[in-house]
């Protein structure tokens, strides 16, 4: 494995963390949208707020991490992706703003009309942002981002069957992860009726993802033959792993084994991302730009590796404390006295 590959692996770890953690935060926002009227949905919204409140900002930073590693480690790839896909990426950036700001604001207003307004902004941007991110992934995976600056079609690059498939899948995956995580959170808070509600949603979302993924096979076969060949060739074992883990998490949900279901669901999503990486390795931008061609000079890559090791030493225990603290009592004293 070259130095460039190692940096890319770190980037992909960051992307995976973003999908698993921030993805679930987006999904929770999407469930907020369909939680029902102000009175009926209040408890669901409270659970969502308490689950994502302490962690969403830290989870969000993974996106910034991915961006800075991409532009420092692989500047030509970053320039090509950002310039060609500037429309969906602007959508992502604005969606991130609307989601985060509205979530923070909603906690600080009492008036019902304002809470509804911020809630609507929070929830709708929680759907749009992963959709745009999915279209970006689809554009890159289907080889629609040529190297160079703004060399791709600014519309067709992300408005195409593969991008739309990836966008819909991204929204579905976020929703599924969130519902599964929330089942466990609700059970720990002894809110079993809420756990049942999110279990139903998780099962529904899981079935929808399964159906979309099945249809996706035909879409990729027709629209992105290279990606299809990679996924059914070298990456096939990982694709199979993802499928098995996904089905297992559905089975565990049926049996109300929420903690195990959470792990298998995360494994399924992780496997999707790594299957994609494996399918197009060693290309960064299909079909021409390789990882090594896109990589920054050796001194830069070395420094990147060093700071990622040092950074991990600082981050892992810090993140561990954060998640441990708020997994202990998802609705602790702060929530009872909150107003």
Partner 1 sequence: MTSLGFAQAAGPGDFVAARSQMAFSLGWHIIIACFGVGFPALVLFAEWRGIRTGEVAYRLLARRWARAMGVLFAVGAVSGTILSFEMGILWPGLMQRYGAVYGFPFALEGFAFFIEAIFLGIYLYGWDRLPPRVHLASGLPIVVAGVASAFFVVAANAWMNTPRGFRLVGGRVVDPDPWAAMFTPATGPETTHMILAAMMVTGFAAAAVYAVAMLRGRRDRYHQLGLLLPLTVAAVITPVQIVVGDWAARLVAADQPAKLAAMEGLYRTGAGVPIAIGGYYSGNTLHGALEIPYGLSLLVHLDPHGVVQGLDVVPVTLRPPVTLVHLAFDLMVGIGFALLALGGWLAWSWWRRRKMPATVWFLRAVAIAGVAATVAMEAGWVTTEVGRQPWIVYQLMTVREAINPAPGLRYGLYAVLVVYTLLTVATIAVLRRLARHPVPVAPQESDVEEYSVI
Site for partner 1, residues 125 to 164, rule: CB under 8 A: 149-150, 154
Least separation in angstroms between CB 223 and partner 1: 23
Which range, of 38-46, 100-108, 255-263, 265-273, touches partner 1 by CB under 8 A? 100-108
Q: Which stretch binds partner 1 (CB under 8 A): 19-27, 163-171, 249-257, 292-300?
A: 292-300
Half-sphere exposure of 84 (CA within 13 A, CB side): 26
Cβ at position 131, least distance to partner 1 in Å = 16
Q: Which is nearer to partner 1, 64 or 207 (CB)?
A: 64
- In the complex, minimum distance from the CB of residue 156 to partner 1, in angstroms, rounded to a whole number: 13
113 is a site residue for partner 1 (CB under 8 A):
no
- What is the spatial distance between Cα 270 and Cα 263, in angstroms, rounded to a whole number? 10
Residues between 193 and 232 that touch partner 1 (CB under 8 A): none
Among 104, 208, 217, 244, binds partner 1 (CB under 8 A): 104
Alpha helices in the chain (DSSP H): 3-17, 23-33, 42-52, 56-73, 75-84, 86-106, 112-141, 161-188, 192-223, 225-232, 236-254, 258-280, 291-294, 298-328, 333-337
| DSSP code per residue over 256-296 | T-HHHHHHHHHHHHHHHHHHHHHHHTTEEETTTEEHHHHPP
Q: Does 6 bind partner 1 (CB under 8 A)?
A: no
263 lies in the site for partner 1, by CB under 8 A: no
Window of 58-66, 186-194, 201-209, 280-288 that interacts with partner 1 by CB under 8 A: 58-66
Which residue number, 75 or 210, has a Cβ lying nearer to partner 1? 75
Q: What are phi and psi of 85, to 5 degrees?
A: -100, 35
Q: Does residue number 53 form part of the binding site for partner 1 (CB under 8 A)?
A: yes
Task: Candidates 3, 93, 159, 217: give the one binding partner 1 (CB under 8 A).
Answer: 93
Q: Find the part of the chain contacting partner 1 (CB under 8 A) among 59-67, 189-197, 263-271, 278-286.
A: 59-67
DSSP 295-315: PPPHHHHHHHHHHHHHHHHHH
Q: Which stretch binds partner 1 (CB under 8 A): 21-29, 95-103, 176-184, 285-293?
A: 95-103
> In whole angstroms, what is the distance from residue 239 CA to residue 267 CA?
11
- Cβ proximity of 304 and 7 under 8 Å: yes
Listed ranges 33-41, 77-85, 213-221, 255-263: which one lies at the site for partner 1 (CB under 8 A): 77-85
d(Cα 49, Cα 103) in Å, to the nearest integer? 8
What residues between 306 and 325 interact with partner 1 by CB under 8 A? 307, 311, 314-315, 318-319, 321-322, 325
> With the C-alpha atoms ordered 281, 228, 77, 278, is the resulting torsion angle positive or negative?
negative
Query: Distance from first CA to last CA of the chain, Å, rounded?
Result: 53
Contact between 178 and 33 under an 8 Å Cβ cutoff? The reply is: no
Q: How far is the CB of 308 from partner 1 (least distance, A)?
A: 8
CA distance linking residue 323 with residue 245, whole number of Å: 24
């Amino acid at each position: 494995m070259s130095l460039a590959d190692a940096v890319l692996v770190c980037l992909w770890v960051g992307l995976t963390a973003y999908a698993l953690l921030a993805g679930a935060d987006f999904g929770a926002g999407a469930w907020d949208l369909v939680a029902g009227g102000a009175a009926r949905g209040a408890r669901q919204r409270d659970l969502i707020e308490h689950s994502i409140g302490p962690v969403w900002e830290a989870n969000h930073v993974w996106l910034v991490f991915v961006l800075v590693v991409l532009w420092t480690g692989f500047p030509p790839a970053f320039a090509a992706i950002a310039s060609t896909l500037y429309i969906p990426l602007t959508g992502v950036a604005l969606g991130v703003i609307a989601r985060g700001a509205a979530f923070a604001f909603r906690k600080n207003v009492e008036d019902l009309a304002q809470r509804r307004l911020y809630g609507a902004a929070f929830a709708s941007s929680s759907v749009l942002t992963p959709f745009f991110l999915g279209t970006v992934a689809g554009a890159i995976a289907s080889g629609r981002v040529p190297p160079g600056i703004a060399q791709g079609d600014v519309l067709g690059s992300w408005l195409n069957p593969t991008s739309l498939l990836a966008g819909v899948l991204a929204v579905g995956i976020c929703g599924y992860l969130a519902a599964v995580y929330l089942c466990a959170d609700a059970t720990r808070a002894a809110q079993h009726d809420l756990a049942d509600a999110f279990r139903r949603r998780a099962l529904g979302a899981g079935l929808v993802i399964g159906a979309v993924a099945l249809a996706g096979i035909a879409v990729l076969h027709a629209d992105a033959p290279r990606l299809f060949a990679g996924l059914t060739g070298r990456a096939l074992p990982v694709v199979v792993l993802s499928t098995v883990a996904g089905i297992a998490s559905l089975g565990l949900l049926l049996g109300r084994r929420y903690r195990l279901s959470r792990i298998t669901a995360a494994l399924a999503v992780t496997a999707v991302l790594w299957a994609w990486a494996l399918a197009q390795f060693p290309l960064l931008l299909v079909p021409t730009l390789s990882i090594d061609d896109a990589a920054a000079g050796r001194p830069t890559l070395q420094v990147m590796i060093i700071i990622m090791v040092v950074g991990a030493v600082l981050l892992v225990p810090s993140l561990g404390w954060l998640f441990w603290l708020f997994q202990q009592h998802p609705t602790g004293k702060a929530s009872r006295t909150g107003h």
